[in-house]
Chains A and B, each alone.
Chain A
């Protein structure tokens, strides 16, 4: 029995969510192999070989994988999936895009966004925006699983001594073509890996006002997030969205500024260790889950906090 983990990478390095996925896969009970599909991914493969608990790294390196298109990557996963008891990927936009194609072609169910591995065939996963937790058992021969990174501790990035093996790259058609990518490069930590997250909601009032959060995030070395309301209103870009349909985060400290606390937002942050809420409405639902609440004008309070932090 062995589990295959589809790695998420940036060519030169493996993305952090892969480490969490490796730990999830290890809990299924067998060996863990990592598959890297991309172009010029030698460095990422070497890095993957050092991940604790990984015994083999498979590398499919070819030009048709350069942009990580779902059709090409899924075909490659299928080409090597035979013989594995499990295929895992992180429940990120990369994994969510690719893995259901793999499951459908294998004629098996996918178990999405799991929060724990109970046994080799049984998993828990949040449903209804995290308002219920279902325990599900798969009757399929191969379990295709996406794992929620925040629910699994990362595997150690050093110490492993996996073998690296090249696999035959599968040809891809051209029905799908990559056009462009518009990725915002921030000087701040990534939202999903950050120890501290400062998020703004509709109460911030405008895209300009969102800058108010920057000095606070800088002081705390925090990532900046946003509620769906703030993103929908155009105050913040879509990749900042925390919630049921955005990103799920579980930092040590989550500071919600001007966020009322809609169910779908709470679904994305309620596993944070400590939650601070700043809102002018003392009745806002966010206060029902916040460890520390501060009722008042955020435009006054946020600069005060920055000052207190010195």
Chain B
């Protein structure tokens, strides 16, 4: 069984992003970039399924600039067997990425696609669900536990109000939530090994996919700021403030 895992190169989660002064976006020059944390969890889960003998091959896919090759090398250092980069400098929106992945699903015929539930840059939370719809596959989003057996995946999902368990027939798309696993640390020998693994580069046109954006970003601004308030001395002073000044209790 093959598992396909899309991975996105995003601004590292520790970086405090700054909006550009011309309001066209956020500053990306000289900013540390990393693999989207949810995608790292997805790769880890796929590699664990391979180590458990459930999967035979893990393929990492990234879409975007040539630098996404670094993200694919990280995925291969975690344990993916090979990488595919769909290279373009067009701004890719979730629908376009889902179409690119659908084309790859047709070519590679994976039984499982494990994707991060959202990317921490655009916070869209769409690509996995869109891919499932385009490929006519069932989906299990926001997964915190995955068991694969007898041609189905049983997935516990984190939903508002608690947990829900669904069983989906393979092939299926699963998106990961934070509690699914803790990704391993990448070791130096594995980084060296990853450099020798195959990495294929394609263009969207090779897959016959139109990736033109459907949403125009008119501007990007800083959110309205919040000023720091005051420190109060003790519980009594706090309650007094909340009652008489803020009037919220």
CB within 8 Å of B: which residues of A? 69-71, 74, 92-94, 96-105, 107-113, 122, 125-140, 174-184, 192, 196, 220, 228, 231-232, 237-239, 244-245, 247, 252-253, 263-264, 270, 273-276, 282, 287-295, 301, 304-305, 307-309
CA distance A273 to B249 in the complex (A): 12
Given A112-B126, A127-B26, A133-B221, 4 more pairs with CB closer than 8 A: A93-B160, A109-B93, A137-B216, A308-B239
- Cβ–Cβ < 8 Å partners of B226 in chain A: 270, 275, 289
Contact across chains for A294 and B232 when beta carbons are under 8 A apart: yes
- Interface size on B (CB < 8 Å)? 80
Given contacts A139-B214, A245-B118, contact A104 B95 (CB under 8 A): yes
Q: Are B235 and A305 in contact, CB atoms less than 8 angstroms apart?
A: yes
Q: Which residue of chain B is the closest to A309 with respect to CB atoms?
A: B239
- Closest CB in chain A relative to B153 CB, distance in Å: 10
Residue of A nearest to B159 (CB): A93
A122 CB, min distance to chain B CBs, angstroms: 7
Q: List residues of chain B with CB within 8 A of the CB of A127.
A: 26, 121-123, 220
Contacts between the two chains (Cβ within 8 Å), count? 261
Q: How far is the CA of A69 from the CA of B134 in the complex (A)?
A: 17
CA distance A180 to B145 in the complex (A): 13
Q: How far is the CB of B158 from chain A (nearest CB, A)?
A: 5
A111 and B217 CA atoms in complex are apart in Å by: 11
Give the shortest distance, in Å, between A114 (CB) and chain B (any CB): 11
4 closest residue pairs by CB, A with B: A100-B129, A304-B235, A291-B229, A104-B130
Which residues on the B side are within 8 Å of A130 (C-beta)? 223
Known contacts A109-B94, A112-B123, A180-B165; A93 and B214 CB within 8 A of each other: no
Query: Please, which residues of chain A bring their CB within 8 A of the CB of B232?
Result: 292-294
B114 proximal to A (CB < 8 A): no
- Residues of chain A within 8 A (CB-CB) of B112 are none
In the complex, what residues of A have CB within 8 A of residue B163's CB? Answer: 181-183, 238-239
- What B residues does A307 contact at CB under 8 A? 235
* Residue in contact with B238 in the complex, picked from A184, A196, A294, CB distance below 8 Å: A294
A96 contacts B165, C-beta separation under 8 Å: no
Q: How far is the CB of A25 from chain B (nearest CB, A)?
A: 19
Decide: B130 and A181 in contact? CB cutoff 8 A: no
Q: Which residue of A lies closest to B179 (CB)?
A: A238
Q: Pick out which of these stretches binds chain A: B11-19, B53-61, B185-193, B198-206.
A: B11-19
Cross-chain contact of A239 among B124, B160, B165, B229 (Cβ < 8 A): B160
Report Cα–Cα, A74/B138, bound state, in Å: 11
Complex interface: stretch among B63-71, B72-80, B240-248: B240-248
CB-contact partner of A112 in B98, B120, B124, B161, under 8 A: B124
B49 proximal to A (CB < 8 A): no
Contact call B169/A104, Cβ cutoff below 8 A:
no
Q: Is the CB of B120 within 8 A of A244?
A: yes
Chain A residues positioned under 8 Å from B228 (CB to CB): 287-290, 293
Please give me the residue from chain B that is nearest to A184 by CB atom.
B162
